[in-house]
């Protein structure tokens, strides 16, 4: 629907198609095409009838007079006699009847000739079928004009017949508009009738051509600004019309036109050259036409005697050295013909520019069919299948050519083809970039990082598509492959992908008719996957796993080409609507490319080996070694005593270095992503949260999500235990994920970027564990894709909700539905516009045993009766756009199939939901504690100089944030403390002042910031705070990892005590560490210049959000006492 609306302007379509192919596409051969494009400024051709489309009354009269012995010229004189008020003109205005006309006309003719004139017989002849027959040359011309998208009209001075109908012996369907004088009551040359015709056509006078045989009529048209063409005989008129319109109107060779003025070549010199080449006996005039396409390398059809040839030459003017290399085309076609690839037979290469002005080559003309529409209308499914199979096998033939044997080993550079191509198209895109296109930006980063490792080198066509093939008119045989301009040596899979572009484009796509809205099975056309498979089968290759990469690259290339075309079209004439539309076409193509990149990212991600547990025993294999690295950061490595390949499976890995290789790689990628994308974005994300738009998702965050997805850094949280086949997530163990989670905890924005944020994680886990297949399809999949968000509604203002059995909201069964009534608050994520699911906890049966009264229902957020009361704040922070909402459920009706597990199972579900979630919270708290400690150590006074460049303190460099220039990783104060950043980044941070000045300021560490005569570091309390914080973080981390390890090897239930302990420990620890950091920062620590205040609020809230500390303490004590003798 969207694409249909997007591309509905046909005018826009042809313009784009023409421009796109001008850039990429040259057409060396003529063949019948099924569609046409317009190529002049005219929009309509208006035809007079008598004398133009059918014989004129004057001509009919001349013959009739001879046969009827009437003095020559009598009729003509009588026709014009009386002018406006003569019988003929009155008859044509419809002012008199046939009988009246004939009577008056008879009298007039007889007076003039002094003899009786049988005008009735003349009238019968004039209007009889045999005489009033359209000229075939005109009929054909009209067909061609309409095929080019121009309108046609007939503007006739005609009359009524005795049967009451108007005289119009034409096929009305051939005309967009018919204007008849007898109906309108106005005759040519009255200007009103021309205006009427133009108005009905909806064109300006200058956009139309008028053909008539009578000078007064033409004069009147010309005075209105209409282009005119006098018709003496139809043949000559059509030739003149061809010149005016710039395309062929008579079928000589399909898709040819008279040679354009600017593209003319010296005929005499060419004729002499051809006669020399073909032999002296070659006689007859040389006929020359130009092919419609092939503007890049102009291409001509030549007929000389019985020879039909195609000439292809470089364009005139100064050219880039490597461009328009017709010599290369000649070379490859010659070589391929010898290798059995169907190509037009090349005859001669002339590099002597003196013959026709530029080098050229000649080949035989190859008549046949070109299928422009990839849906192959009018054919049977079996024929379509055969055509695509033939296309596939001819591509295999090209790719199987032994390049050495045919002498093409130096036809292009060998190896690294894709890298070079990617760089070329990035450069091209950058050179024509007009505004920032997020998908292109992502692709520019993504493509170089995902270049396929294995690349074959073969001949590559470079533009292999169905409409570059000439088929036999009766058989499904490819007679010739055209357009070798982009051919080279390279990775053959690029050709396979390029030939599948149409599969992903809609049928009304402006530059290339697509198939995405067609039912391919019904049509008999192979899908892109089948096409790739067919290729592998023909080539004897294993299935191509990374074909999504090739599709991503192909669409990226198309988007880059379109961007170039667009930039060139911005000459000032393009209307803003056209420009907007063009922008959308590029956006559409680049988004398609990005979709493929995302699919490829997922494929790589899924391919990573499953991290299956080796043993489920409760002990650790790790034998920790403590190695402090050069920067003095935490870096002890646990070398497990089993093989390194399986190091982290079921092991208690206490530092990331001990993780198994694939997980360690993932950890490193995540870390790199945090450094390259997340930290630098924090400043802007924070600004969004403080802006009026804060209740809508930040576009920057959405963009980062897409990037993370394509990196496979997505849904890392789902534990292996509940997703052993890695159907939904990364298949990490709790310990493995804990390390990744710590990294994510370093930025408040990171969890959502990787689709690992609460409450969605808990809800997704709940759906994976307990959801039915239908529930998963409806709710889980969009959540996993990051398209929607969700909330969990348990807490109620009127009861102590730390005890889930207190929950009072009611769920009643009524008429086959569940009806919900209740009041909830502190529901995180509720206010997010993307929130579509509320996982609702309520009471189904107040009389059941205490732990079986509750149930969990999946409630669509758009259900009537959900009334949001207000957003709540945590120390004044709103946590937009998700927020924490208060909400009423007022008779909300939900289908019964939305119940999870069954009535009374709510308590069980709530318990199951919390295990891994608690590890996540705690490890994130450890991440933000690390960052707080790092900030404390790198304590900076942040001497922001707010002023213009030059007003900064000496020694401080400054730069303007301008255009597309990206701030480096440390563009926010918050970043000064990312432990992973290099030393330089630690010591310098860039701060954007409110006048827009970005200045680099030295970060004064606790060593250099002085208070009361001593650096801060020498103040005992600060030292103690740093030491205490380090110890507490380490303690907490070990405990959390132990809990995670226990969950991995012994299950959630066995880990209950440890889970309760970490809940007691981690939030309080984090709160204390963060608080010390705030203290070390002075008042700045409370400001939003640093993440500390936000961290502090978060850690404090977590002492409730997962249940209050006391509840966990009580649980620990209870379990401890259980073991008392």
Ligand X SMILES: Cc1cc2nc3c(=O)[nH]c(=O)nc-3n(C[C@H](O)[C@H](O)[C@H](O)COP(=O)(O)OP(=O)(O)OC[C@H]3O[C@@H](n4cnc5c(N)ncnc54)[C@H](O)[C@@H]3O)c2cc1C
Q: Which residues bind ligand X (CB under 6 A)?
A: 759, 791-795, 800-802, 826-828, 874, 884, 1101, 1104-1105, 1107-1108, 1110-1111, 1114
CB of 655 to ligand X, least distance (A): 30
CB 286 within 8 A of CB 267: yes
CB of 779 to ligand X, least distance (A): 17
CB 458 within 8 A of CB 398: yes
State which residue, 885 or 927, has the beta carbon closest to ligand X.
885
State which residue, 800 or 1024, has the beta carbon closest to ligand X.
800
In total, the chain counts a number of residues equal to 1125
CB of 910 to ligand X, least distance (A): 9
State which residue, 574 or 877, has the beta carbon closest to ligand X.
877
Read off the DSSP letter of residue 1082. Answer: G
State which residue, 174 or 828, has the beta carbon closest to ligand X.
828
What are the C-alpha distances in Å from 480 to residues 333, 379, 390, 473, 501? 10, 21, 12, 12, 21
CB of 1103 to ligand X, least distance (A): 8
State which residue, 526 or 1107, has the beta carbon closest to ligand X.
1107
CB of 946 to ligand X, least distance (A): 35
String of b and e for 826-850 (b: at least 16 CB within 10 Å)?
Answer: bbbbbbbebbbbbbbbbbbeeeeee
CB of 398 to ligand X, least distance (A): 60
Which DSSP helix (H) or strand (E) runs through 855?
strand 854-860
State which residue, 245 or 841, has the beta carbon closest to ligand X.
841
State which residue, 882 or 903, has the beta carbon closest to ligand X.
882
The number of angstroms, rounded, from the C-alpha of 314 to the middle of its chain's C-alpha atoms is 34
Task: Take residue 479 and report the two structure tokens written for it.
Answer: 């007679």
CB of 1066 to ligand X, least distance (A): 15
Contacts of 378 (CB under 8 A, 6+ apart): none
| 3-class secondary-structure state, position 265 | coil
CB 42 within 8 A of CB 243: no
| Tokens 């005795």 -> residue | 162
String of b and e for 594-624 (b: at least 16 CB within 10 Å)?
Answer: bbbbbbbbbebbeebeebebeeeeeebbbeb
Contacts of 908 (CB under 8 A, 6+ apart): 851, 901
DSSP string of 482-513, one letter each residue = ---TT-EEE-THHHHHHTTGGGGS-TT-SSS-
Which DSSP helix (H) or strand (E) runs through 919?
helix 906-937
CB of 981 to ligand X, least distance (A): 30
Which neighbouring-strand residues pair with 1001?
989
State which residue, 791 or 926, has the beta carbon closest to ligand X.
791
Tally: H helices and E strands in the chain: 37, 29
CB of 495 to ligand X, least distance (A): 53
State which residue, 923 or 1097, has the beta carbon closest to ligand X.
1097
State which residue, 843 or 1042, has the beta carbon closest to ligand X.
843
State which residue, 91 or 792, has the beta carbon closest to ligand X.
792
CB of 429 to ligand X, least distance (A): 44
State which residue, 432 or 788, has the beta carbon closest to ligand X.
788
How many whole angstroms separate alpha carbon 695 and alpha carbon 832? 7
| Tokens 């007691």 -> residue | 1064
CB of 755 to ligand X, least distance (A): 17
Task: Give Dmax (Cα) for the chain.
Answer: 146
Based on the number of CB atoms within 10 Å of its own CB, is 901 exposed (0-12), middle (13-18) or buried (19 or more)? middle
User: How many CB atoms within 10 Å of residue 185?
Assistant: 13
CB of 1100 to ligand X, least distance (A): 8
How many whole angstroms separate alpha carbon 1024 and alpha carbon 1038? 21
CB of 912 to ligand X, least distance (A): 16
Nearest to 490 by CA among 414, 401, 400: 414
The answer to whether the peptide bond before residue 189 is cis (omega within 30 degrees of 0) is: yes
How many whole angstroms separate alpha carbon 1102 and alpha carbon 1114? 17
State which residue, 150 or 791, has the beta carbon closest to ligand X.
791
State which residue, 235 or 803, has the beta carbon closest to ligand X.
803
CB of 1114 to ligand X, least distance (A): 5
How many whole angstroms separate alpha carbon 822 and alpha carbon 1065? 33
CB of 796 to ligand X, least distance (A): 7
CB 294 within 8 A of CB 345: no
β-pairing verdict for 44-47 and 151-156: parallel
State which residue, 374 or 762, has the beta carbon closest to ligand X.
762
CB 288 within 8 A of CB 253: no
């Amino acid at each position: 629907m969207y694409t249909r609306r997007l591309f509905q302007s046909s005018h826009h379509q042809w313009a784009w198609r023409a421009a796109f192919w001008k850039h990429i596409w040259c057409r060396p051969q003529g063949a019948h095409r099924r569609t046409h494009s317009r190529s002049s400024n005219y929009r309509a051709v208006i035809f007079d009838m008598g004398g133009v489309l059918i014989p004129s009354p004057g001509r009919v009269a001349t013959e009739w007079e001879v046969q009827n012995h009437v003095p020559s010229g009598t009729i003509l004189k009588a026709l014009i006699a009386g002018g406006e008020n003569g019988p003929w003109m009155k008859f044509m205005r419809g002012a008199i009847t046939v009988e009246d006309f004939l009577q008056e006309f008879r009298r007039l003719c007889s007076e003039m000739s002094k003899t009786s004139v049988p005008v009735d017989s003349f009238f019968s002849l004039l209007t009889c079928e045999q005489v009033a027959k359209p000229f075939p040359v005109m009929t054909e011309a009209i067909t061609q004009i309409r095929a080019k998208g121009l309108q046609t009209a007939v503007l006739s001075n005609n009359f009524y017949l005795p049967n009451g109908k108007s005289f119009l012996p034409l096929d009305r369907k051939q005309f967009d508009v018919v204007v008849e004088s007898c109906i309108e009551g106005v005759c040519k040359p009255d200007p009103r009738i021309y205006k009427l015709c133009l108005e009905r056509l909806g064109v300006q006078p200058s956009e139309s051509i008028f053909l008539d045989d009578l000078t007064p009529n033409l004069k009147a048209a010309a005075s209105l600004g209409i282009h005119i063409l006098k018709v003496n005989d139809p043949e000559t008129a059509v030739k003149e019309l061809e010149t005016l319109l710039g395309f062929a109107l008579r079928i000589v060779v399909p898709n040819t036109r008279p040679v354009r003025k600017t593209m003319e070549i010296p005929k005499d010199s060419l004729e002499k050259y051809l006669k020399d080449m073909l032999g002296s006996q070659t006689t007859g005039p040389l006929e020359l036409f130009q092919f419609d396409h092939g503007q890049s390398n102009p291409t001509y059809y030549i007929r000389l005697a019985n020879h039909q040839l195609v000439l292809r030459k470089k364009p005139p003017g100064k050219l880039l050295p490597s461009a328009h290399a017709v010599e290369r085309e000649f070379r490859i076609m010659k070589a391929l013909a010898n290798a059995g690839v169907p190509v037009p037979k090349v005859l001669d290469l002339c590099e002597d520019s003196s013959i026709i002005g530029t080098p050229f080559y000649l080949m035989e003309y190859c008549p046949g069919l070109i299928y422009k529409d990839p849906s192959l209308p009018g054919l049977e499914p079996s024929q379509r299948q055969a055509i695509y199979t033939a296309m596939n096998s001819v591509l295999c033939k090209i790719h199987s050519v032994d390049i050495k044997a045919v002498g093409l080993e130096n036809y292009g550079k060998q190896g690294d083809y894709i890298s070079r191509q990617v760089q070329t198209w990035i450069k091209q895109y950058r050179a024509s970039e007009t505004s920032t296109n997020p998908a292109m930006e992502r692709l520019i980063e993504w493509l170089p990082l995902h270049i396929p490792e294995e690349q074959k080198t073969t001949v590559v066509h470079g533009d292999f598509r169905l409409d570059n093939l000439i088929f036999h008119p009766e058989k499904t045989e490819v007679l010739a492959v055209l357009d070798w301009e982009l051919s080279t040596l390279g990775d053959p899979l690029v050709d396979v992908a390029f030939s599948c572009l149409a599969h992903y484009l809609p049928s009304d796509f402006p530059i290339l008719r697509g198939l995405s809205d067609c039912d391919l099975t019904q049509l008999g056309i192979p899908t892109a996957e089948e096409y790739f498979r067919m290729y592998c089968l023909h080539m004897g290759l294993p299935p191509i796993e990374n074909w999504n990469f090739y599709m991503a690259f192909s669409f990226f290339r198309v988007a880059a080409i379109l961007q170039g075309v667009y930039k060139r079209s911005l000459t000032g004439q393009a209307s803003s609507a056209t420009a907007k539309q063009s922008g959308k076409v590029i956006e559409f193509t680049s988004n398609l490319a990005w979709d493929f990149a995302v699919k490829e990212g997922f494929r790589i991600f899924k391919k990573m080996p499953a991290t299956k547990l080796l043993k489920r025993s409760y002990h650790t294999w790790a034998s920790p070694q403590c190695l402090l690295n050069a920067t003095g950061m935490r870096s002890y490595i646990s070398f497990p005593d089993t093989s390194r390949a399986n190091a982290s499976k079921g092991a208690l890995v206490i530092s990331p270095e001990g993780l198994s290789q694939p997980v360690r790689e993932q950890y490193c990628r995540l870390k790199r992503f945090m450094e390259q994308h997340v930290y630098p974005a924090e400043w802007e994300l924070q600004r969004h949260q403080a802006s009026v738009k804060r209740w809508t998702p930040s576009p920057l965050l959405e963009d980062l999500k897409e990037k993370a997805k394509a990196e496979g850094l997505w849904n890392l949280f789902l534990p292996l235990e509940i997703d052993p086949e890695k159907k939904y997530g990364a298949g990490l163990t709790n310990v493995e994920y804990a390390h990744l989670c710590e990294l994510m905890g370093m930025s408040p924005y990171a969890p959502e970027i990787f689709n690992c944020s609460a409450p969605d994680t808990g809800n997704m886990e709940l759906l994976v564990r307990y959801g039915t297949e239908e529930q998963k399809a409806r709710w889980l999949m969009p959540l996993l894709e990051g398209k929607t968000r969700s909330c969990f509604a348990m807490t109620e203002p009127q009861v102590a909700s730390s005890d889930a059995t207190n929950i009072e909201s009611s769920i009643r069964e009524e008429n086959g539905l569940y009806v919900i009534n209740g009041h909830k608050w502190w529901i995180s994520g509720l206010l997010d516009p993307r929130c579509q699911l509320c996982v609702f906890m309520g009471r189904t049966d107040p009389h059941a045993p205490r732990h079986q009264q509750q149930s969990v229902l999946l409630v669509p957020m758009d259900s009537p009766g959900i009334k949001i009361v207000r957003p709540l704040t945590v120390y004044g922070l709103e946590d937009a756009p998700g927020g924490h909402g208060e909400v009423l459920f007022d008779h909300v009706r939900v289908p019964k199939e939305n119940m999870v597990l069954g009535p009374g199972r709510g308590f069980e579900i709530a318990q199951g939901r919390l295990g891994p979630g608690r590890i996540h919270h705690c490890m994130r708290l450890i991440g933000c504690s690390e960052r707080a400690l790092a900030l404390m150590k790198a304590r900076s006074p942040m001497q922001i100089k707010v002023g213009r460049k030059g007003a900064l303190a000496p020694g401080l460099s400054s730069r303007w944030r301008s255009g597309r220039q990206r701030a480096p990783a440390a563009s926010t104060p918050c970043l000064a403390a990312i432990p992973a950043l290099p030393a330089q980044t630690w010591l310098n941070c860039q701060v954007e002042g409110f006048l827009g000045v970005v200045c680099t300021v030295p970060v004064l560490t606790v060593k250099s910031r002085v208070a009361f005569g001593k650096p801060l570091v020498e103040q005992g309390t600060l030292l103690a705070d740093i030491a205490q914080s380090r110890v507490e973080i380490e303690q907490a981390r070990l405990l959390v990892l132990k809990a995670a390890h226990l969950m991995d090897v012994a299950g959630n239930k066995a880990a209950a005590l440890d889970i309760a302990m970490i809940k007691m420990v981690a939030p309080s620890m984090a709160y204390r560490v963060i608080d010390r950091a705030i203290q070390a920062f002075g008042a700045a620590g409370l400001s939003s210049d640093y993440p500390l205040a936000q961290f502090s609020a978060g850690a404090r809230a977590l002492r409730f959000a997962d249940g209050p500390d006391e509840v966990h303490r009580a649980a620990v004590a209870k379990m401890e006492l259980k073991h008392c003798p």
